[in-house]
Amino acid sequence: MNRRFGRTTVNHTVLFLLALVMLLPFLWMVLASFKSRSEVEQINPIPVVWHPENYKRVFEQIPFAKYYFNSVFISAWVTVLQCLTSAMAAYAFSRIRWRFRDAVFRLYLMTLMIPGVVTMIPNFTLMVRLHLLDSYVGLIVPAAFSAFGTFLLRQFMLTIPASLDEAAGMDGATHWQIFWEVIFPLARAGVITLAVFTFMGTYGSFTWPLIMIKSESLRTLPIGMLFFDSIYGKQTELIMAASVMNIVPLILLFSFTQKYLVSGIQLGAVKG
């Protein structure tokens, strides 16, 4: 009993120290957001004089609320579309038998090995020809499909008993009804997992919005925050204040979906 208690204590201590190390950059960011510009460069982590007005200055210097809305709006639409398209593709690859299904699925997965920078120029050219440059649609549509999302949901759907499909089919249900009313609700944990990954990835996207957006009214937060790092100097304290407000939606999203996120990852890895 003493040996087990000692081992548990050591494990918890190690985990606590690791968690503390991982939290240090976040704590520094929060504290730096309340410092003056000269004080940010000092070693002292605690502000000598607190400057909560840094958060107000962020809104005064850039249209932060508009950038905030753009980031959340684009991320939400990409998340909804990617979850829907990935779920439909996963259903076709896992629940419907058709010729060359597995071969097509392997070819589809091979696209995961192609770096994003390779497809960026063709995607940009396509958006220009479709006259979608500098628009919400141009930011949303290219990210609405995901080979990773299809793979994740396919693995999850393979854990659902095939007898449910057969029972629904005997009752006269179509493939769409089976997908939407039977399989999709049962794959909720997997869909939520994909939704969290997609939202976080899109919300923090930098390169694609940078080359697609020219209008200030369409800028997202990562692009808008570049204003604080210009040829006139880096306003580190305002960058930190904007960053703190930037990550609030991600913290809330993870807090509310943590249970589904863990179960979705575990169940999705059960069957290959």
- CATH of residue 195's domain is 1.10.3720.10
pLDDT of 201 reads 92
Query: Per the domain annotation, does 79 fall within a domain?
Result: yes
Query: Per the domain annotation, does 124 fall within a domain?
Result: yes
pLDDT of 195 reads 92
Query: Per the domain annotation, does 37 fall within a domain?
Result: no
Query: Per the domain annotation, does 237 fall within a domain?
Result: yes
Q: Distance (Å, rounded) from C-alpha 84 to C-alpha 93?
A: 14
5: confidence class by pLDDT, cuts 50, 70, 90? low
pLDDT of 270 reads 47
pLDDT of 267 reads 55
**Tally of structural domains, the chain:** 1
Query: Per the domain annotation, does 40 fall within a domain?
Result: no
Q: Which two tokens stand for residue 87?
A: 């779920």
Average of per-residue pLDDT across 137-156:
92
Average of per-residue pLDDT across 160-171:
86
pLDDT of 232 reads 56
Higher per-residue pLDDT: 219 or 44: 219
Angle between helices 64-94 and 53-61 (to 10 degrees): 80
Average of per-residue pLDDT across 199-208:
92
Query: Per the domain annotation, does 13 fall within a domain?
Result: no
pLDDT of 85 reads 96
How do residues 210-229 score in pLDDT, each as one tens digit?
999 989 899 999 999 888 87
Domain boundaries, position 122: 55-268
Instruction: Kindly tell me if the per-residue pLDDT of 233 is higher than 90.
Output: no
Average of per-residue pLDDT across 124-151:
92
Q: CA 4 → CA 1, 13, 17, distances in Å? A: 5, 14, 20
